[in-house]
Structure 1
Amino acid sequence: MSTLLRTVHPDDSKPESLRRVLLRTSAGAAVLATLAGAWYIDFAPATLFDGLDEIAALLNRMLPPRLGDPGRVSALAVETLLMAVLGTVLAAVVSVPLAFLAARNTTPHPAIHGAARAVITFCRAMPDLLFAALFVRALGIGVLPGVLALALHSIGMLGKLFADAIEQTDPGPREAVRATGVGYFREMLNSVVPQVIPAWIGAFVYRIDINLRMSVVLGFVGAGGIGFALQDALRGLIYPRALGIVAVILVIIAAMEVLTIVIRRILLTPSRSGPRRDRATRFTFGALAAGTCAAALLVLDIDPWTLFTWPWQSFEVFGRMLPPDFGALGTDLFDAALQTVAIGLVATAIGVVLSVPLGILAAANATPHPVVYWVARAWILAVRAVPELIIAVVFVAALGLGPIAGTCALAIGSIGFLGKLVADAVEEIDPGPLEAVRAVGGGWWKTLFAAVVPQAMPSMIGAGLYLLDVNIRTSTVLGIVGAGGIGYLLFESIRTLNFDIAGAIVIVVFVIVYTIERLSGWIRSLVV
């Protein structure tokens, strides 16, 4: 994933002194904004320490974990996995043509390029849980709303990464194919697609991993998956059963993580047998994905025709969000929006402070000892395996309702997310400077600060900005469990069928996420 974050290069024409000034100004503004955010939500380390006893007592009530109905939990676990695969495949099918329209070097017209980019940005800005809640209202409780929510939200990521890959292709092969007189479709198929397939496969496999985590919590709004069972256990205060379900989720996600690593290596590592073997491997993977989708439709009992007719069934609900009513909530809407931004900023700052050292220890080329490496990697995997919404439930139960619980949940989730990106970035640095420092007798600390950190710093800054982008989006839905932010107002308005108010909140969420995304992209362009 770290390579996906380094698609923007600094403008060499920009004076270096101006870039340094802009970076220092941005860093100072970020610190001030974080401190202001912590003040706004009354977040203080002492508050968290005071709640440690409550957290320990809650965890004690969860032990020992148990499963009340293993058969039902197993069926819901399979349902969750199939939802993730089907949603990702549907998103990829839509994202391919959308990416060609959104890429500057393949779009047929600038207006189409702008429209395609707007669709991609909208899908990325809207949380998957929001899509799921709206689809449940329109289509009813079940797995179909969950699959559609995962697909639409995934278009935001896959469409962007697919389009970025197209824009980075070599124009030479395309010009050669065009010289033969073929049409637009053949030109794209024969010259562009072969160049972007490796990047597309990497993004697709990584997205399956993300969607599996997302699909776990869709049951909180009635959109299928193992979240159904987890929500039942939490509502009934049956904490040992809840912990048992979380353990099942942990095993599924850990297994999926290992599987995705294996798949990426098989598909993206050139075979010694030549291109023919590579094509056969990719064809086999494509056939496996198609077969899994067919099995998913059968097991999940989804009529394939509904994958095409859902817009007509959803127009009535989505249409009721217009025109939006910005006045009904008054200043509460503004306060909730600021609270959401504050939660994202503070959680990101905490995550950066805790995850950067952990990520360095989890890098094979920088860790001081193999045991430290495996402990750090295991911790990152364990944290990443539990969705932030579930962590938020624990903190709400222990610390009470409010933004502090949401901030703590996001901060812990950030450790796993950013720790992995930092570890991957460190492992990809040039080994030459490390060997040079070690050759002159430099110890671990000297090697770290003289050779590792300077090389990995641009990628770590880019990953930190990407984490802020992700945390702002995630913080918009934590309110569903009472963890502060604008999410509480949003899901409450949907629950009470006040869709015009929900429409206003959706617009505010979009503006927040889009603004943060553009600001992060600008800062990233200065350093990455």
Structure 2
Amino acid sequence: MSTGLLHRPGPPRARTSDSAAAARRRTTLASLAALGAVLVALSAWYIEFAPAALLDGLGNIAGLLERMLPPRLDEPGRIWVLALETLLMAVLGTVLATAVSVPLAFLAARNTTPHPAVHAVARGIITFCRAMPDLLFAVLLVRALGIGVLPGVLALALHSIGMLGKLFADAIEQTDPGPREAVRSAGAGYVREMINAVVPQVMPSWIGTFVYRIDINLRTSVVLGFVGAGGIGFALQDALRGLIYPRALGIVCVILVIIAAMEVVSIFVRRLMLTSDGSDPRRERTTRIVFSGAVIGSTVAAVEVLGIDPLELVTWVGPALEVFGRLVPPDFSAVGGKLADAVLQTLAIGVVATALGAALSIPLGVLAARNVSPHPVLYATSRAIVLAVRAVPELILAVVFVAAVGLGPLAGALALALGSIGFLGKLVADAIEEIDDGPVEAVRAVGAGWWKTLFAAVLPQAVPSILGSSLYLLDVNVRTSTILGIVGAGGIGFLLFEAIRTLNFEFAGAIVIVIFVIVYTIERVSGWIRSSVI
């Protein structure tokens, strides 16, 4: 055998295999795109989605906005106190969820769980917490503990476990096994192995997730006031119920200021904590100590200002289990075919909202990416739009669209589609800002314009992240659509909250099981799609 054969640049079979795999991914992606288009069309037909109805309702929206202007704050002192209460609820709820999610994540990660059965149980708990709407947690906890901030904090904590537990476990599964093997060879036990070899690898990811979850919980805590779970949402609901629209808009402006401030703080913390290069270990250690101190101080302040007895963070379990226990045994026959129709409505709302949201969010996200946006004014305007939309909870948007197009799933789909701009637009912009600049500069070097650079060098790198975020948006929209029924925006949420209002807990339990199955199925399908095409 000649030596020339031994130094060929690569086996043809391997290159052929890679090409075949790429071709299969393209075929799979095209098939999924076609299937998605069919599902969107069927979903739009099922909920009678008609752009003409929206156009007809624009006059009603304009009239409603006219009645809201100019915004005013009748009791600014009280409103700002409630705003502080809302912020502290978000912080405390996230901290409590993190305390539970960290050990749960180690049990749920495949590479650190002590047994497959433990892994299955831990993943089931995480999925259940994510499937249960936060507003449903709040309603049940208010019934168990009474009106106040404690049910709101606990509802935020329980629902946050669904996201934090999943993302923490995913980060653990992506760790390098080398450090673990080195620590294990030195005779360390399981706990020391996790602390010394795994935690340092996942800490940057965990910090980013923790900060982002506070942002999410801040917006969520606004809605919890609608069911008596404390915060500024109670004042907002009171203004809307009394048709005092200028006061409602004034409160929304306060919420916007809080969320904008939180966005600035989040950006600062993420840059400070997550962009270190290891060149100054002392500075990094000091930064993390300061961050930890700030979290601990905020937690203590939250307990004190909110007037929560620390013992209540333990004793709530008994009364809550008594109320949650009323959900079993589930009764699937309470309203016959209405349940099936409501489930299909919920799925259709989520699909249509995700499709519309992606169509609106991706162009806006491109303009909101600092490294791609063609002009600083466009960048600032796009970022401002994304931030403004994120400041308004989907439930409030649903109220506006119900006023515009009437009761039903169309209002829910439109509210979620608009709300998706704040969620997906930010993720698209962040994904584009994190791409490799090399291909972009190479395309620009040959004289390519903005459009050609975008399609030849930017989007090909960002597509996997955008696809993954869009699939996650579908999961979020289906879960969110379950609570829009509280204001008449269609879907299974109307039946759920009506069942709780009338104390028909067995039927509510059946709906909760249905929601769990839907969320779990979407998660599994999304995971398969990501593994097939990304």
Q: Which residue of the partner structure matches residue 391 of structure 1?
A: 397
Judge conservation of contact 1:359–1:423 (CA < 8 Å) in 2: yes
Aligned residue type for 2:445: A
Instruction: Give the alignment partner of residue 405 of structure 1, picking from 398, 405, 411.
Output: 411
Q: Of the two, which has the highest radius of gyration?
A: 2
Instruction: Give the alignment partner of residue 32 of structure 1, picking from 9, 28, 38.
Output: 38
Q: Which residue of the partner structure matches residue 450 of structure 1?
A: 456
String of CA shifts for 1:220-247, please: whole Å, max 9, x gaps. 1111110000000011011010000001
CA drift at 1:359: 0.8
Please give the residue correspondences for 1:142-157 in structure 2 after superposition, counting only pairs within 5 Å: 142-157=148-163
Cα gap change, 1:272/1:112 in structure 2, threshold over 3 Å: closer, same or farther? closer
Judge conservation of contact 1:362–1:423 (CA < 8 Å) in 2: yes
Please give the residue correspondences for 1:223-234 in structure 2 after superposition, counting only pairs within 5 Å: 223-234=229-240
String of CA shifts for 1:271-306, please: whole Å, max 9, x gaps. 777212211211111111111111111111111111
Q: Which residue of the partner structure matches residue 277 of structure 1?
A: 283
Q: In 2, distance between residues paired with 1:374 and 1:298?
A: 38
Aligned residue type for 2:111: N
State the TM-score, normalized to the length of structure 1: 0.96
Judge conservation of contact 1:465–1:520 (CA < 8 Å) in 2: yes
- RMSD (Å) for aligned C-alpha atoms: 1.5
Query: Structure 1, unaligned stretches of length 5 or more?
Result: 1-10
1:202 matches 2:208:
yes
Q: Which residue of the partner structure matches residue 382 of structure 1?
A: 388
Instruction: Give the alignment partner of residue 423 of structure 2, picking from 395, 408, 417.
Output: 417
- Secondary structure, counterpart of 2:316 in structure 1: helix
Judge conservation of contact 1:102–1:112 (CA < 8 Å) in 2: yes
Q: Which residue of the partner structure matches residue 339 of structure 1?
A: 345
Q: In 2, distance between residues paired with 1:389 and 1:405?
A: 11
Please give the residue correspondences for 1:305-324 in structure 2 after superposition, counting only pairs within 5 Å: 305-324=311-330
Instruction: Give the alignment partner of residue 183 of structure 1, picking from 189, 194, 201.
Output: 189
String of CA shifts for 1:148-196, please: whole Å, max 9, x gaps. 1110111111111111111111112111111222221111111111111
Judge conservation of contact 2:368–2:380 (CA < 8 Å) in 1: yes
Please give the residue correspondences for 1:280-291 in structure 2 after superposition, counting only pairs within 5 Å: 280-291=286-297
Q: Which residue of the partner structure matches residue 138 of structure 2?
A: 132
Aligned residue type for 1:353: A
Q: Which residue of the partner structure matches residue 158 of structure 1?
A: 164
1:192 matches 2:209:
no
Q: Which 4+ runs in 1 deviate beyond 3 A?
A: 11-18
Compare relative contact order (CA 8 Å, sep 6+) and give the higher one, 1 or 2: 1
Cα gap change, 1:508/1:12 in structure 2, threshold over 3 Å: closer, same or farther? farther
String of CA shifts for 1:404-451, please: whole Å, max 9, x gaps. 111111011111211111111111222122212211111111111221
String of CA shifts for 1:249-292, please: whole Å, max 9, x gaps. 01101110111110111111227772122112111111111111
- Secondary structure, counterpart of 1:320 in structure 2: helix
Judge conservation of contact 2:365–2:427 (CA < 8 Å) in 1: yes
Q: In 1, distance between residues paired with 2:339 and 2:166?
A: 30
State the TM-score, normalized to the length of structure 2: 0.95
Instruction: Give the alignment partner of residue 60 of structure 2, picking from 39, 46, 54.
Output: 54
CA drift at 1:117: 0.9
Judge conservation of contact 2:364–2:425 (CA < 8 Å) in 1: yes
CA drift at 1:398: 2.5
Judge conservation of contact 2:73–2:251 (CA < 8 Å) in 1: yes
Q: In 2, distance between residues paired with 1:196 and 1:422?
A: 23
Bigger CA drift: 26-35 or 223-232?
A: 26-35
Judge conservation of contact 2:54–2:404 (CA < 8 Å) in 1: no
Judge conservation of contact 2:127–2:516 (CA < 8 Å) in 1: no
CA drift at 1:13: 11
Judge conservation of contact 2:79–2:232 (CA < 8 Å) in 1: yes
String of CA shifts for 1:359-398, please: whole Å, max 9, x gaps. 1111122111111111111111111111111111111122
Q: Which residue of the partner structure matches residue 3 of structure 1?
A: none
Q: In 1, distance between residues paired with 2:182 and 2:438?
A: 38
Q: Which residue of the partner structure matches residue 264 of structure 2?
A: 258
Q: In 2, distance between residues paired with 1:439 and 1:156?
A: 46
Aligned residue type for 2:258: I
CA drift at 1:23: 2.1
Q: In 2, distance between residues paired with 1:455 and 1:103?
A: 28
Please give the residue correspondences for 1:42-81 in structure 2 after superposition, counting only pairs within 5 Å: 42-81=48-87
Judge conservation of contact 1:361–1:368 (CA < 8 Å) in 2: yes
Cα gap change, 1:272/1:103 in structure 2, threshold over 3 Å: closer, same or farther? closer
Instruction: Give the alignment partner of residue 484 of structure 2, picking from 450, 470, 478.
Output: 478
Q: Which residue of the partner structure matches residue 241 of structure 1?
A: 247
Aligned residue type for 1:416: G
Q: Which residue of the partner structure matches residue 120 of structure 1?
A: 126
- Secondary structure, counterpart of 1:278 in structure 2: helix
Judge conservation of contact 1:230–1:242 (CA < 8 Å) in 2: yes
Q: In 2, distance between residues paired with 1:144 and 1:324?
A: 27
Q: Which residue of the partner structure matches residue 513 of structure 1?
A: 519
- Secondary structure, counterpart of 1:437 in structure 2: helix
Q: In 2, distance between residues paired with 1:406 and 1:504?
A: 22
Judge conservation of contact 2:370–2:379 (CA < 8 Å) in 1: yes
Q: Which residue of the partner structure matches residue 11 of structure 2?
A: none
Q: In 2, distance between residues paired with 1:57 and 1:154?
A: 37
CA drift at 1:475: 0.5
CA drift at 1:146: 0.6
CA drift at 1:14: 8.3
Judge conservation of contact 1:271–1:278 (CA < 8 Å) in 2: no
Aligned residue type for 1:208: I
Q: In 2, distance between residues paired with 1:308 and 1:130?
A: 20
Query: Structure 2, unaligned stretches of length 5 or more?
Result: 1-16
Instruction: Give the alignment partner of residue 104 of structure 1, picking from 100, 107, 110.
Output: 110
Q: In 2, distance between residues paired with 1:204 and 1:255?
A: 17
Q: Which residue of the partner structure matches residue 375 of structure 2?
A: 369
Q: In 1, distance between residues paired with 2:304 and 2:404?
A: 41
